[in-house]
Amino acid sequence: MPTPLASATDRMTGRAWALLFVLCGAIFLEGIDVSMMGVALPSIRAELGMTTSELQWVVSAYVLSYGGFVLLGGRAADLLGRRRMFVGWLVVFLLFSGLGGFATEGWMLIVARFMTGVAAAFMTPAGLSIITTTFPEGPLRNRALLVYAGTAAGGFSLGMVTGGLLAAIDWRWVFFAPVLLAGVLLVFAIRLIPREARPERTASGFDLPGSITLTGSMLLLVYTVVLAPDVPLARSVVTGVASVLLLTAFVVIERRSADPLIRLGLLRSSALIRANLGAMLLVGSFVGFQFIAVLYLQEVRHWSELETGLALMVIGLDAILAPTLTPVLVRKFGNSRVIVAAFVLAVAAYALFLPLSADWTYAAMLPAFLLLSLAFAFGYGPLTIAATDGVAEEEQGLASGVLTTSFQFGSALGLAVVAAVIAAAEDGLRTALFVPLIGGILGIAISLPGLRTKQQAPVPVTTAV
């Protein structure tokens, strides 16, 4: 029997596409908000007179709050209502992004970025879990997830181009443009996201001790990773140990809680663990490589921010390939094989960039960028499917939060390791290229066991809109 989201031919209805447009718009907003900020930093420093240390916190404050609160955000969606969390935190995202555009002091900008990261941490897993609970498991959900993942990857890839164009006008438009998009999404979200009854589990109370210890552990963990290249080793050790102690306390609390924030049994799934480790390695290696490529183009080749963004724009082809080509490959070869192929392509891309020299033409760089675009298109969506497949509806927010944590932590880890290698090695950029290469190889090793599991029967995933 057709649902409000599917016709009798098992195709998505107009309302389903409209709902997916809203949720994809939010993840695109989050993606460009992360990546386009780097292009605007020099202009921000010049106008607000920020030191290098303060400028770093424009990026780090967002990553810290996002990575620290996202697991809590995912579980809050399950316990407090996905529509409520998505719409409410979209409003917060809109307000604080706008505040960043009006900032006249560095501290105002840092506070705005921290709160924008908190909003994204609650909004993003709520949006993903709305998809996984609204679209029925099977071809419709797979198609919706691949379109969603393609939009996320495209937003992340195209953010530098967008940031370059906006910063050329005025850096404040890097903050104002997301406000305009968020305003449009908010109007449609209120109309299209289905209302839901308040989950009954909250009647026994919210797991406050678990929430505090988990969030504290995540905040310290991300803080340790993000600032590792710039602080003394002893400080990193102290904050890292403190994170582990808080995580241990969280596990003890959850085992004894009658209504835990996170059911620990969910994290014992080998398939879920492989998917999240794969997500961490895919995004971490990509972000590390992108950082190296930007430094090479701007500091070695002396290209402008706009020229750099346009040069990397080809990677944004994943936004087109993920919702069109990837579903066909998943249907024909299975999810696990497509994930392995994605990491193989990523390794090939990073290997092609190893011989870089100061006089490379763009044509010499292009094959690596194209292969990386394919890798991201083939990996992001199938990993999203693998990390949420088979999870009970009441835990989809948690599964989405775990996946988002993996993406964010992978991003922070990849950037931190690459930055540390660049600072320590004599031939910094070339040596740092081995970091994403090793990440891709580890991704292959982690994904290969998935090929030995029983492949799902092919599903009729179509590319017709």
Q: Average model confidence (pLDDT) for the chain?
A: 83
pLDDT of residue 134: 86
Pick the closest to residue 260 from 437, 75, 129, 84 (CA basis).
75
Residue carrying structure tokens 């069109």: 324
Q: Describe the crossing of helices 52-80 and 208-227 by its angle, rounded to 10 degrees.
A: 150
DSSP β-bridge partners for residue 6: 12
Task: Copy the structure tokens of residue 28.
Answer: 């695109």
| CB neighbour burial string for 411-438, b if at least 16 within 10 angstroms, e if fewer | bbbbbbbbbbbbeeeeebbbebbebbbe
Residues 6+ apart with CB under 8 A from 218: 67, 68, 69, 70, 71, 72, 243, 405
pLDDT of residue 442: 97
Pick the closest to residue 123 from 153, 143, 152 (CA basis).
152
pLDDT of residue 4: 58
Q: Do residues 399 and 262 touch, judged by C-beta distance below 8 A?
A: no
pTM of the model: 0.79
Distance CA 23, CA 130 (A): 8
pLDDT of residue 446: 94
* φ, ψ for residue 12, nearest 5 deg: -70, 140
pLDDT of residue 198: 62
pLDDT of residue 281: 95
Pick the closest to residue 334 from 206, 450, 462, 220 (CA basis).
450
pLDDT of residue 459: 39
Going residue by residue through the chain (465 aa), what tens digit of pLDDT does each one get? 445 565 544 677 888 889 999 999 998 888 888 777 767 777 888 888 887 667 777 877 887 788 778 888 888 888 888 999 999 999 999 999 999 999 998 889 999 999 999 999 899 989 988 998 888 877 888 888 888 877 887 777 677 778 777 877 888 998 998 899 999 999 999 999 988 766 555 444 567 788 788 888 888 887 887 777 777 889 889 999 999 999 899 889 888 877 777 777 777 788 889 999 999 999 899 988 988 888 888 778 888 777 877 888 888 788 788 778 888 898 899 889 999 999 999 999 999 999 888 888 899 999 999 999 999 889 988 998 888 887 877 778 778 888 888 887 888 788 778 888 887 777 888 899 999 999 999 999 999 988 876 444 443 333 332
